[in-house]
Structure 1
Amino acid sequence: MTKTASSKVRDPLELGGSVWLRSGTETLGGSARIALLAAIRDTGSITAAAKSVGMSYKGAWDAVDAMNNLAGESLVSSASGGRGGGGTTLTPAALRLIETYRAVEREHRKFLERAGAAIESFAHDWQLIGRLGMKTSARNQLAGKVTKVTRGAVNDEIELGLPGGQAIVAVVTHESTQTLGLKEGSDAFALIKASWVMLMEDTNAKLSARNQLRGTVAGVTKGAVNAEVSLSLDGGTTITAIITNQSADTLGLAQGQKAVAVIKASSVIIGVND
């Protein structure tokens, strides 16, 4: 049976990185160029070295010329025959450069291993960093965990549990559920434009809108026509609504007042960190 995206098992997150050598603002080389130098040392031939590291002959010579220029001294020298023949050797400076790079690379690897092991809940924090760096035009970005997936005839209902105990429901296609790997317990976030959020007094009114998030008005900022209202939910989540000034006055919205954010399930976009 073929595995779907929702059943894919992800490998644990680990720290990674590469070492690059620079000369001023120019890059002297990284692992690829050092590997080329090492291959020249081992084979005594540019042609054989280029082949062993998966580089074209011209690309190898261009890299060598660049390294010679940036280093300010010759790293590679050719015996009689030039580029078309003869042996190719490394200068003492190039041999030292390889050893220095390998030593730095070993220490860099040890540092990454120690850092990864020292950071408790690294995978969770890394996902959080990813969310913090996310840019979207939707004003409301609510992170949570999928608490329920209900399959329908055409679309699925995704229930996302928010910090503080409330939940928000979104309607997505079957394809989106599979593509995003949505299942109970998985991390996800809801994107909601502020203009899609309606506000009402905290009553027991019955509405067709699936989402009714209760909170406390944290602030009301009025403009020429519309007002921006921030509603604080339990658990530290804030949801923002854009309504008319007249609506804000009619509801008597003021800081500290209880209110309910009403959002249609079809207005909620679900996303995940890849």
Structure 2
Amino acid sequence: MIVILGAGPAGAAVALGLRRLGYAVTLVSEWRRFAALEGVSLRVLEALRGAGLQQALADAALPSQRQVSWNGQQHAQNIEFLLDRPSFDRGLREDLRLAGVELIEGRVLSVQASGVGHRVEIEGREALFADFLVEARGRQAPALGKGLRGPETVSLLNRWQGTPGSTASAVESLEDGWAWMARRADGQCYWQWTVDVASAQLPGKATLPDYCRARRQGSAWAREFFGVGPETDLQLHARSSTAILSPQVCGDHWIRVGDAAMAVDPLSGNGIFQSLSSALQAPT
């Protein structure tokens, strides 16, 4: 039996590819705990469809003419698709079920390797034994020694309820990083600020939402994009966005794919595209 840890696009693509080859596949994952919105390019959508994720994309992607303000230059040349991750993840699970993948929702406690496979301990369930293991838990995957790392960066995702309007997205370069902005028709607003950890001098967790709001309101571009309406139910999630290359990506009876093998800067869905690149090659 092949066991895949992680149900993001990379893990799902590997699972679907292996099922097409006739293998029995079990996928173990904790589902995303917060509502995220991601901007992806047309090539990412094509790659996702090519991997077999049809239900995942049925109602999850909305097109947007992305506005760009970068190094003093402004343009709107590209179409960006806003991927609603809760809808996408629900459809992804349906794609996996239709393909015959066994789904287990749970937290992986430990993975113990032996000469013939892996024992996977899952919270609240009996352990699984995998003849072959695919590590696809992204940045949450345990590190394998000291890999190569780029500058330490963090992405601060701010989400709040604003005034309903038109769907839109934008990206802006800043002195100490860059910000991605999105606004859905239902008024859900997203502002993700990616900064260098060493030079950002961020405040403590308790005051971080107010600090981000001040930085956002200090940008004329962001003020114009979001307008002056009320911001309610503000939520903030911090995620590492440091580029990482694992020192080893495969061995006897196991392989790492997606961000677990190589994580890159998430600008414009590039992270999803790179993850899929390794995932689509894994079954071969």
Normalized against structure 1, the TM-score is what? Answer: 0.20
Structure with greater proportional helix content: 1
Which protein has greater RCO, CA pairs closer than 8 Å, 6+ apart? 2
Q: TM-score, normalised by structure 2?
A: 0.19
Larger of the two Rg values belongs to structure? 1
Structure that is richer in strand per residue: 2
